[in-house]
Structure 1
Amino acid sequence: MAQEGGCFCDKIRISYTGEPGTHVLCHCLDCRKISGSSYGNNIVVPENNFKLLQGTGIGSSQCKPKTISKTADGGNEITSHFCGDCGTTLMRTGPSFPGSVIIKVGVMDDPDWPNKNTPKGELYVGSRLAISAKQSIYPLFFVFVLGTLSP
């Protein structure tokens, strides 16, 4: 069954099928900045299971996602895909997560998605803010380099 989501203005729609590769909380500065929060909440899905449903730029009412790329904390390039109209970051792609699409949990249509899908770990815990509660039930990783988690 497909899980769907979209940006705040709903001009860009996404979906994924199957089980996510993983669900992680991330404390890196990039995730904090693009989420506007103290950490990012991310769904990692195989790129073959991801689909851009609306926002291909085809048709007069469609808004194609804008992108911005930079070098991630792990040293590889990562690209953020966001709505040019409302500014919502929907997903991230690139060599930092080869073969995967990183979907921001907050764009999912099901508001209960995070409660139904417990995170499997936390990334960049060395950058966790003091105000962010430690989730000791999750495996903790200090860095994510070249597609490899380092405890």
Structure 2
Amino acid sequence: MKIQNFPLEGGCRCGQVRLKISAPPLLTMACHCTGCQRMSSSAYSLSAAIPAEGFEVTEGEPVIGGLHGATRHYFCPHCMSWMFTRPEGMDWFVNLRPTMLDDTSWFSPFIETFTSEKLPWATTAAVHSYETFPPMEAYEGLVKEFAEKQAAA
């Protein structure tokens, strides 16, 4: 589905941390890695790569959680909702958990990653699947294909 109106707003489960996106995602994903399974308490995590300039926290102060490593996972300090991730060395985008948005009707994962670790029964609507992450040289084409599909929707 295509996102109709920007900005989109959202927040954590308790509402103490609110955010806004004002740019369309570069790519949408589902990750089946065991780390995401554990952090999301689910079969996989969902994310939308939002250009950094199109993302802002509008209320509250998220805290770093998860592994506390160089890749920073941000959570609400009260309800502990995993809200977004800022991947190490990739400051041009934020991996937003799209279920934090008030309107999620547009979301569908375009790619799925770490299918080598997925639970046998877990399926997604992803167009592309990868045993781990896509090779770095594939991202430019994936972003272009995703944008074309969004424009055509």
Match of 2:23 in 1: 18
Query: Is 1:99–2:86 an aligned residue pair?
Result: no
Shift of 1:147: 5.7
| CA-to-aligned-CA distance 1:49-96 (integer Å, 9 cap, x gap) | 1011001xxxxxxxx211036488xxxx31110011111111011326
Across the aligned residues of Structure 1 and Structure 2, the Cα RMSD in angstroms comes to: 2.5
Q: Which residue of the other structure, out of 114, 118, 136, is the alignment partner of 1:124?
A: 114
Query: Is 1:66–2:63 an aligned residue pair?
Result: yes
Q: Which residue of the other structure, out of 48, 52, 57, is the alignment partner of 1:47?
A: 52
- Structure in which a larger fraction of residues adopt strand: 1
Q: Is contact 1:38–1:129 with CA below 8 Å preserved after alignment?
A: yes
- Structure in which a larger fraction of residues adopt helix: 2
Q: Which residue of the other structure, out of 84, 102, 121, is the alignment partner of 1:109?
A: 102
Shift of 1:41: 1.0
TM-score with structure 1 setting the length: 0.77
Shift of 1:105: 1.8
| CA gap 1:127/1:6 in 2 versus in 1, 3 angstroms | same
Query: Is 1:87–2:73 an aligned residue pair?
Result: no
Aligned residue pair count: 134
Q: Is contact 1:97–1:147 with CA below 8 Å preserved after alignment?
A: no
Q: List gaps (5 residues or longer) in structure 1.
A: 56-63
Identity %: 21
Q: Is contact 2:39–2:66 with CA below 8 Å preserved after alignment?
A: no
Match of 1:58 in 2: none
Q: List gaps (5 residues or longer) in structure 2.
A: 1-5, 140-153
